[in-house]
Amino acid sequence: MKRLLAVTLGILTAIGGFVDIGDLVAASLVGARFGFSLVWVLLVGVVGICVYAEMAGRVAAVAGRPTFDLVRERLGPRTALANLVGSLLVTGLTLAAELAGVALAIELISSVAHLLWVPLVGFAVWLVIWRTRFETMERVFGLAGLALVVFVVAVYRLDPAWGSVLERVTHPEVPGGEGLPTYFYYAIALFASAMTPYEVFFFSSGGIEEKWKRKDLITARINVFLGFPLGGFLALSIMAAAALLLHPAGIAVEHLSQVVLPVGYALGKLGLGLVLIGVFAATFGAALETALSSGYTVAQYFGWTWGKTAAPRTASRFHAVVIVALLAGMTLVLTGVDPVMVTEYSLVFAAVALPLTYLPILVVANDPEYMGEARNGRFANLMGGLYLVVVLMAAVAAIPLMIATKAGL
C-alpha cells in the first residue's frame, strides 16, 4: 500500500506537467487547428520526458541529491547560473499561466471575472504549500486531476470513425491553408509542453522530499513509466476531442471555455462539472509544482536549506523565493494580459531552455562518482543523446519560427 501511494508523486507530476494549463491550451489548440496531424509530436514528447525523468529520479534516489544541486558542482557556477536564470524565467511565466488557469476554471463555475479570483488563488496556493504535508498535497491534487479522464469518455461518445482517425495519425500532413513554418511552430510548442523544464526539477526534488533511497528505484521508475504516459494519454484525449469537434467546425481555441466545450457537448452538464473539477485540480497542482520548483532551483543553486519537510524557520529563504514567485506571477496576470498568450509564450521560451535543463541531467546520470553501478547504460545514453539533439533543434528553431509566423498567426 505504501508503494502504491508513493506512485501518486508520478501522477501529480504527470497531471501537473502534461495536463497543466500549457498542455490544456496546446493540445486543444493544436487539435482544433491541425486535427490529428501533430499526434506524433506528443508521442515523441512522452518518450522524451520519460527518458530524462527516469535519469533525474535515479540520481535523486542513488546520490540523495536533486539534479540541480549537482549541476553547479559538475558544470560550474557560471553555467549553472545561466541554467538557473533561464529555467527560473520560464518557470515564472508558467506559474503565472497556471494561476490564471485556476482563476479561469473558477470563472467558468462562478461566472465571476477571473481577475477577481487571482489574489485568492495565489493565497490558496501559498497556504497549501505552507501548511499541507507534501504527501497529502500530491495525493489530493494528483488524484482529483484524474477527473480529466472525462475527455477520454467524451472522445468515445463523439463516436469517431476510428479507421479514418488512424489514417490521419499515421499519415500526418499540413492542413490546407496552413504553412509549414506555422505547423512546426506549434509542433515545437506541443513538444515543449510535454518536456517543460520544471517537471524534472519538481520530480527529482520531490523524490528527496519523500526520502528516496537506492531501494526506491523501483518506485521512482513506476512513477515515471506510469505517471508520465498517463499524463500523455490524457493530453492525447484533449487533442482528439478538439480534433473531432472543433476542427471540423473551424472553431479556434482562444479561451479555456473552448477547451472544455467538447466534453460539455458530448456528456452534458455532468461531464462539464467533472471536467471543470479536473481542470481546477490540474492547474492548481501545476501552480504548486511551479511555485515549489522556483524555490527548489534557487535554494539548491545557493546551497540553502530547502523543502516542505524542513522547518520553515530553517528554510526561510526557500519559502521567501516561493512567495516572491507567487507575487510576481499574480502581478503579471493582474495586468490583464491574455492567459492563452502567456501560455503560448511560456512554451516557446521553455523550448529555448530545454538544452540547459537536460544536458546537466545527462552529465550527472553518467557520473560514476555519484551513481556508481547505477549510472546510465548504453540504451539510456543512446536515448538521452538522441533527445538532446531533438531539444537542441527545437531550441534553435523556436524563436525564429515565432518571429516568422508572428507567434502562430
Number of H helices, E strands in the chain: 20, 0
Regarding predicted confidence, which is higher, 134 or 317? 317
HSE (side-chain half, CA atoms, 13 Å) at 340: 16
- Amino acid 14: pLDDT: 55
**Nearest CA to 15 among 357, 290, 283?**
283
% the chain with pLDDT above 90:
39
Q: Where are the domains of the chain?
A: 2-404
Residues comprising the chain, all counted: 409
All three cell numbers of 403:
518571429
Lowest mean pLDDT among 74-78, 316-320, 349-353: 74-78
Give the type of residue at 407.
A
- Amino acid 9: pLDDT: 56
- Amino acid 130: pLDDT: 87
**Domain covering 2-404, topology:** Amino acid/polyamine transporter I (1.20.1740)
Q: Residue 225 above 70 pLDDT? A: yes
Residue 153: count of CB within 10 angstroms of its CB: 17
Most distant CA pair in the chain: distance in Å? 60
pLDDT (average), residues 175-197: 88
Dihedral pair phi/psi, residue 330, rounded to 5°: -65, -40
- Amino acid 6: pLDDT: 55
pLDDT tens profile 283-314: 998 899 899 999 998 998 888 888 877 777 88
- Amino acid 18: pLDDT: 59
Residue 137 contacts residue 210 (beta carbons within 8 Å): no
Give the type of residue at 84.
L
Regarding predicted confidence, which is higher, 53 or 201? 53
Contacts of 249 (CB under 8 A, 6+ apart): none
- Amino acid 19: pLDDT: 76
The SS3 assignment for 70 reads helix
Which alpha helices (DSSP H) does 260-377 contain, by range?
Answer: 261-302, 316-334, 339-365, 368-371
Q: Residue 80 above 60 pLDDT? A: yes
- Amino acid 211: pLDDT: 81
HSE (side-chain half, CA atoms, 13 Å) at 134: 19
Residue 33 contacts residue 252 (beta carbons within 8 Å): yes
Lowest mean pLDDT among 71-80, 371-380, 392-401: 71-80
**Nearest CA to 380 among 57, 68, 41?**
57
Q: pLDDT grade, residue 41 (50/70/90)? A: very high
- Amino acid 153: pLDDT: 94
- Amino acid 111: pLDDT: 86
pLDDT (average), residues 349-378: 86
| Sequential DSSP letters for 244-281 | HHHHHHT----SHHHHSHHHHHHHHHHHHHHHHHHHHH
Q: Residue 2 above 90 pLDDT? A: no
- Amino acid 95: pLDDT: 92
Dihedral pair phi/psi, residue 312, rounded to 5°: -50, -35
pLDDT tens profile 246-297: 999 888 888 888 899 999 999 998 999 999 998 998 899 889 989 999 999 8
Give the type of residue at 10.
G
pLDDT tens profile 384-403: 999 999 999 999 999 999 99
C-alpha–C-alpha distance, residues 145 and 11, integer Å: 9
104-122 burial, b at 16+ Cβ within 10 Å, e below that, comes to: bbbbbeeeeebeebbeebb
pLDDT (average), residues 134-145: 76
Give ∠ CA 290-293-299 in degrees, rounded to 5. Answer: 150
- Amino acid 198: pLDDT: 81
C-alpha–C-alpha distance, residues 179 and 318, integer Å: 46
Q: Residue 110 above 70 pLDDT? A: yes
C-alpha–C-alpha distance, residues 100 and 110, integer Å: 15
